[in-house]
Amino acid sequence: MVIPLFLFYMPTSEALIRAVYNHNGISQDFDALPSHFGPSLHREGLLGYLMEARPANACQPIDAPPSANGSFAAFIALIQRYDCPFTTKVLHAQRAGYHAAVVHNVDSQALVTMLSEKENMKEMVNIPSLFISESASTQLRRIFHYDPTAYLILIPECHWLSCWDVRYSCQSNPQTSRQGLPKQTFPCFQTHCHLFSHIHYLLFGLTLVIWGVALYVLCCL
């Protein structure tokens, strides 16, 4: 039974982006994959305001986000894939003053894990970054075009065994700064956990159990 338990402890590699329409509290969720460089999202997530990178691919230094004037509002850069390494894109967002980066695919709905080609650049990244599909980026643009006061919550997904201690982080009336941007307080959300969504882990564990029982029967009985 050690092997199946070990498999259950394997963490998921997914995350979730929640776009909240600030004026009425309606939200929409998008699947995302975190990068293999830079810090992980904190368990309570990251709330921020989405800004499209200029230039869009962030292969050169990008424009800084607007000044928050002392508020706790975070800013998240939306960046186009290709033309340069992922670490270059995220570093340009970091240096411009963004608190996180969301890179989107181009002409594809596939989610890929962003890797770092150079170890020295990997060590320079100190903001979290996620990867989303092209359709998700299109919808996010529409949301923020329709409602400029909308905001994002970047939510890490936990492994199911750690979710027995899940707590809700709530603010019934999220505070806003003078520019109408959300401060770093959170509307109610629950960290997402999967016991059965990653069914391949369960099937793999079951297969190992069957082989283990078969070997025990052949060798020991």
Residues 48, 140: Cα–Cα separation, whole Å: 13
Question: What are the tokens at 172?
Answer: 């019934």
Q: What is the pLDDT of residue 177?
A: 44
Q: Which residues contact 5 (CB under 8 A, 6 or more apart)?
A: none
Question: What are the tokens at 199?
Answer: 């069914």
pTM of the model: 0.71
Domain spans in the chain, listed from the N-terminal domain onward: 12-192
Q: What is the pLDDT of residue 168?
A: 37
User: Largest Cα–Cα distance of the chain, in whole Å?
Assistant: 75
Query: Which is it for strands 15-20 and 27-34: parallel, antiparallel or unpaired?
Result: antiparallel
Q: 189-212 burial string, b = 16+ CB within 10 Å, else e?
A: bebbbeeeebeebeeebeeeeeee
The C-alpha torsion from 147 through 193 and 128 to 9, rounded to 10°, is -170
Q: What is the pLDDT along the chain (221 residues), one digit of tens a residue?
A: 434 433 333 444 589 999 999 878 899 999 999 999 999 998 889 999 999 999 999 999 999 998 765 556 799 999 999 999 999 999 999 999 999 999 999 999 999 999 998 888 899 999 999 999 999 999 999 999 989 889 999 999 754 334 433 333 434 344 444 344 444 444 444 444 444 444 555 677 788 888 888 887 778 76
| 12-192 to CATH, choices 3.40.1280.10, 3.50.30.30, 3.40.50.2000, 1.10.3720.10 | 3.50.30.30
Q: What is the pLDDT of residue 215?
A: 80
